[in-house]
Structures are given as structure tokens and as C-alpha cells.
Amino acid sequence: MSDAGTRTALVTGASRGIGRAIALGLAREGFDLVLNDIERQKDQLDTVRTEIEAIGRRAVTLFADVSDAGAVQAMVSHAIDATGRIDAVVNNAGILIPGTVEALPERHWDAVMDVNAKGTFLVVQALLPHMRARGYGRIVNIASIGGKHGAPEQAHYSASKAAVMGFTRVLAQEVGAQGITANCICPGIIVTDMGRTNLEDPVVAERWISNTALRRLGQPEDVVGPVCFLASDASAFVTGQTLNVDGGIVLS
């Protein structure tokens, strides 16, 4: 069981959208934060850090491409040195480069798989020795309903998110005895810079709304509560699960 004291969470892709909302939500729940993104997001990540500090929590910013094993190992090492502990990780970093299967360049397939699937694996792998040594950990991987049913021009994205779900189910079985849980969140159509890929055509946007039981698009803040639950001790007996946070598109 985790020792007493302030919990610390690492959030990847934390500079904007869902990652930013999650980081702020965890801060409001009493977590200190390690905020990760790539270097070109520095200004936005610094803004998130300032917002967290205004809440009264500590925030550390670390830059790394999650698809680079060496960079991830260095980031995790620096995070532990800076904070002393990582209790929870939210693997949120992700990219989407739309393209039909027939016309999709191999480099776009590789880039999406490298960040979305391999990046999740690399961050978890780097953190596991620390979590095992402490006998505690909360791993929350951000997948997508796209990994369940997909959408045109997103075959590589859907494949990467399906991979995250499969990875998480096996991970939960391997680490449960060490006091570590691993779960997935599958956001639906969320209004973010990346989510707008599904919303550029007003007709398509209206179709998504009409196919959603709650009859609205999601906001980044809609994802926060479920992530905070899975990152906390309230979810101590929940592992290997995938939770749809989509307003009622995928009903399961």
C-alpha cells in the first residue's frame, strides 16, 4: 500500500486538451503533478504548470517524446528524482494523422503506432520498477472508442488504441499481485484540437451528436472524473477494465 503523504501523478501529453484537463483535475484532487509533453509545447505546458501552482499543488515539467525509449527512461528518472515518488501515471499522449488505408504512407502508420501504442508501453515499462518497489501504482491508459469500432481514415489510430486496450488487459494480470492496477479510459468525440478531426464537417458533427445518447459532444473536463477515480484508492479493486467515456455512443 502506498505510504502516507501527497500523491504524485505523471501525465503525458499534458499541454492541452484532455491531458491539460486531467492534470488540473488531479491537482484539484490533491495530487502533485509531473507534466510531460514534447519540447515544442513548452509555452502551453508552462501555462498548465502555472495553473496547477495557482491551485496550490506542485508541478514539474519534463519534455520527452514518448516514442523514444531513451528519452522516456530519462524523463521517468528525473520525475522520481524531482518528486520522490510516482503514484499514478496517465498515458494520454497521442496523435492522429488521418488517411485512407489505400493512400496511407507507411511513415504515418509508424508515427501513430509509435506514439499511441509504443509510447504507452515505454512509459509503463520505465515506471514499473519504481511502482513494484513501493508495492503501489495506478496506471490509467487513454485509449479511445475508435479502438472499438473505428472511423474512416483512422485505421492506424484505431489499431493503436485497440493495442493499448489489449496491452492494458495483460498488464493488469502481470502487476496486480504487486499492488498495481491498470485500466483504460475510452473517450468518445471530445472537442479538442485532435478531436476536431471528426467534426470539421457540420453534417458529420451533427451525426455524432445524434448518435450520442446524451445528445452532445464531449468536453475535456468530461474525462476528468473517471480518470481521477482510476488514479485513486477508490478504484483499489478495479483493474484490467476499459471504461467508455463517450456520452453513450458505445453501449457496453
C-alpha cell of residue 166: 489489449
Our CA angle for 69, 72, 75, nearest 5°, is 155
What is the grid cell recorded at 249? 455512443
| Residue 151: other Cβ atoms inside 10 A | 17
31, 121, 136, 157: the catalytic one is: 157
User: Annotated catalytic, 157?
Assistant: yes
Neighbour order of strands in the sheet with 59-63: 59-63, 32-37, 8-11, 88-91, 137-142, 180-187, 242-245
Q: Who's near 158: CB < 8 A, 6+ residues apart? A: 144, 146, 147, 149, 150, 151
For residues 7 and 16, give the distance between their C-alpha atoms in angstroms, rounded to a whole number. Answer: 22
Catalytic machinery residues: 157
